[in-house]
């Protein structure tokens, strides 16, 4: 039986290519509906509503107009909407996942809530963060990074940030705009200000 054969490895990744928009992020421009939007917000979600925005650049500093970004995060109490997290709230409508394509100038934006702290494997708190996956033409496999927040004192003790050379931590830190619930983080796929990507 075909079904009983143990695979000899995982299916390799291939690029999303330049033409994913009509399938993955149509946003009203094609005859197809969006499975996901760039917002995690639901009517019943509690927590501080924030916007995270920025641009994506390639190694020449040129804006990348055909990236797809996906975020994954817990609720304001640090609980993931996944039964594998034993602390997950049953029946909450908050899912913690969103998707956004970059526009012609490389801009992206997410509407979400400030995530709560999540424990590391030793049970110690990590600083609040959001996971970010970056897909694009020219990217044979997506890249994983994290979004931290400039106004979180916990960053100094975060065990993952501690793995990152001090002079590169800014590439993971979204900066809060004065007086607004808006954070800004540009992504650089390559070059002097290259974003830190993780081998996970």
What residues numbered 53-112 form the site for another protein, per CB under 8 A? 58-60, 62, 64, 70, 72-74, 80-87, 95-97
Q: Which of 153, 156, 178, 200 binds another protein (CB under 8 A)?
A: 200
Q: Which of 48, 105, 120, 177 binds another protein (CB under 8 A)?
A: 120
Q: Which of 35, 89, 151, 177 binds another protein (CB under 8 A)?
A: 35
Please give the Cα distance from 174 to 172 (Å, whole number).
7
48 to 44, 78, 98, 133, 181: CA distances (angstroms):
12, 13, 17, 23, 8
Q: Which of 194, 198, 186, 196 is nearest to 67 (CA)?
A: 186
Which two three-digit tokens encode residue 72? 């994954």
Site for another protein in 124-143 (CB under 8 A): 126, 129, 131, 133, 135-143
Q: Which is nearer to another protein, 11 or 178 (CB)?
A: 11
Q: Give me the least distance between CB of 35 and another protein, in Å please.
A: 5
Site for another protein in 147-186 (CB under 8 A): 160, 163-164
Neighbouring residues of 147: CB distance < 8 A, sequence distance ≥ 6? 52, 71, 129, 130, 131, 132, 172, 174, 183, 185
């Amino acid at each position: 039986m075909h079904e009983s054969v143990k695979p000899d490895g995982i299916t390799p990744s291939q690029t999303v290519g330049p033409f994913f928009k009509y399938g993955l992020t149509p946003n009203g421009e094609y005859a197809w509906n969006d499975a996901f939007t760039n917002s995690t917000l639901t009517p019943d979600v509690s927590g501080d509503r924030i916007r995270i925005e920025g641009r994506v650049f390639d190694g020449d500093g040129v804006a990348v107009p055909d990236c797809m970004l996906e975020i994954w995060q817990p609720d304001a109490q640090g609980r993931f909407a996944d039964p594998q997290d034993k602390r997950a709230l049953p029946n909450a409508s908050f899912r913690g996942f969103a998707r956004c394509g970059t526009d012609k100038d490389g801009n992206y934006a997410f509407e979400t809530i400030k995530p709560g702290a999540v424990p590391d494997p030793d049970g110690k708190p990590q600083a609040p963060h959001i996971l970010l996956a970056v897909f694009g033409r020219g990217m044979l496999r997506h890249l994983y990074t994290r979004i931290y927040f400039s106004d979180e004192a916990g960053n100094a003790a975060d065990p993952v940030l501690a793995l990152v050379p001090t002079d590169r931590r800014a590439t993971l830190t979204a900066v809060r705009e004065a007086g607004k619930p808006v954070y800004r983080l540009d992504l650089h796929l390559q070059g002097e200000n290259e974003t830190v990507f993780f081998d996970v």
